[in-house]
Amino acid sequence: MTGPAECAVSIRGLSKRFDTAHVLHDIDLDVAAGHVVVLVGPSGSGKTTLLRSINLLERPTTGRLTVGGTTLSFAPAGPAITRTEAAAIREVRLKTAMVFQAFNLFPHMTALANVAEGLISVKQMAKPAAHVQAMSLLQRMSLVDKANAFPATLSGGQKQRVAIARALAMRPQIMLFDEPTSALDPELRSEVLSVLRDIAAGGMTMLVVTHEMAFAREIADQVVFMEAGRIRFAGPPDAFFRSDDPRIVRFLSAIL
């Protein structure tokens, strides 16, 4: 059994409220280093909020979160963010990289500049060195010929590959993918899924929110099924797809 210490991500008793809406309830989850966790479940079940809580785009209301060895605890009536907490949040953000459904590229920058931006502004790298590194990531994404293209001229699949290159450039320990193929036409999804497969094969710890069940079955070490802000199932894909839980059976029959 892997203890929290060996986990890339360890979550205990995490809850999240937005004003009156209680969106996550008492979430416990461990993600071993190098594992791929696929988060599935009906719309509104809290998958995105959980992902955003892991890199602290959302501040959990209660619970404890350990990401790459940095631990933060949250309490509802807690004080304003302390300097120690702010430093821990910065550490967590440096250890994680998020890829969004809507790509979130800088529209006024070329593909190359998008990938280099974090290297220059966050990692303080000189522009020429950042561009060399960004170019090698674009090469890994088979996008060298698009280095000087602006996002508006790229296909959805190309935009998402630029966004993935930008995330990889930060050398994260953990990558968070929020429905990375949902905005893409079916024929463009496979190019992004094959990039995700590659990254997983390289040993990256990944959490992926997706509705791509075949992909989940193929790539996941652990499938997490969420419903109404709770984890209803967490386990290997075989057990998930063979589950006789009526809620999971209903979900799968609607989506497959």
- Contacting residues toward ligand ADP, per CB under 6 A: 18, 21, 23, 41, 43-49
Hey, what are 236's tokens? 């290997």
Hey, what are 26's tokens? 């008492």
CB of residue 178 vs ligand ADP: minimum separation in angstroms?
A: 8
**12 phi/psi in degrees, rounded to 5:** -130, 125
CB of residue 18 vs ligand ADP: minimum separation in angstroms?
A: 3
- Comparing CB distances to ligand ADP, the nearer of 1 and 21 is 21
**Amino acid sitting at position 16:** K
| Closest to 127 measured CA to CA, from 151, 145, 109, 104 | 109
CB of residue 16 vs ligand ADP: minimum separation in angstroms?
A: 8
CB of residue 49 vs ligand ADP: minimum separation in angstroms?
A: 3
CB of residue 73 vs ligand ADP: minimum separation in angstroms?
A: 22
- Comparing CB distances to ligand ADP, the nearer of 27 and 125 is 27
Q: How far apart are the first and last CA of the chain?
A: 32
- Comparing CB distances to ligand ADP, the nearer of 45 and 110 is 45
- Comparing CB distances to ligand ADP, the nearer of 197 and 211 is 211
CB of residue 158 vs ligand ADP: minimum separation in angstroms?
A: 25
How far is Cα 232 from Cα 243, in angstroms, rounded to an integer?
11
How far is Cα 89 from Cα 55, in angstroms, rounded to an integer?
8
Hey, what are 137's tokens? 């990531």
- Comparing CB distances to ligand ADP, the nearer of 179 and 191 is 179
Query: 164: burial class by Cβ within 10 Å (0-12, 13-18, 19+)?
Result: buried
- Comparing CB distances to ligand ADP, the nearer of 40 and 111 is 40
Please report which helix (H) or strand (E) contains residue 51, including its range: helix 47-54
How far is Cα 22 from Cα 16, in angstroms, rounded to an integer?
6
**59 phi/psi in degrees, rounded to 5:** -95, 120
